[in-house]
């Protein structure tokens, strides 16, 4: 599927019911995030802050019940 078609599908938010049902443990892994459309959609739906700047600010305030990692998609730091 072409990238532009994927973006159009995300803009229509057909994946939101699936995502809401899938977030039982409230963990998201956005690999190959490109222009950040999925992260932006998650932010709009769940009001979550996802940028590295937000993460740094929250850590300074002592809020640390989340993790944010930047890694190679070919060598993810997860089992």
pLDDT (tens digit per residue) in 62-72: 776 666 677 77
Bigger pLDDT: 1 or 43? 43
Q: Answer yes or no: is 57 within a domain.
A: no
Split into its structural domains, the chain has a count of: 1
pLDDT (tens digit per residue) in 36-61: 666 666 667 666 656 666 666 767 77
Q: Answer yes or no: is 42 within a domain.
A: yes
What would the DSSP string read from start to end of 4-69?
HHHHHHHHH-TTHHHHHHH-SS------S-TTSHHHHHHHHHH----SHHHHHHHHHTT--S----
Q: Answer yes or no: is 74 within a domain.
A: no
Q: Which structural domain range is residue 42 located in?
A: 3-50
Residue 78 has a pLDDT of 74
């Amino acid at each position: 599927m072409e990238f532009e078609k994927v973006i159009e599908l995300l803009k229509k938010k057909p994946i939101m019911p699936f995502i809401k049902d899938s977030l039982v443990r409230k963990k998201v892994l956005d690999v190959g995030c490109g222009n950040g459309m999925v992260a932006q959609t998650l932010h709009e739906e769940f009001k979550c802050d996802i940028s590295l700047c937000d993460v740094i600010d929250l850590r300074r305030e002592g809020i640390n019940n989340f993790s944010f990692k930047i890694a190679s998609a070919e060598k993810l730091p997860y089992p």
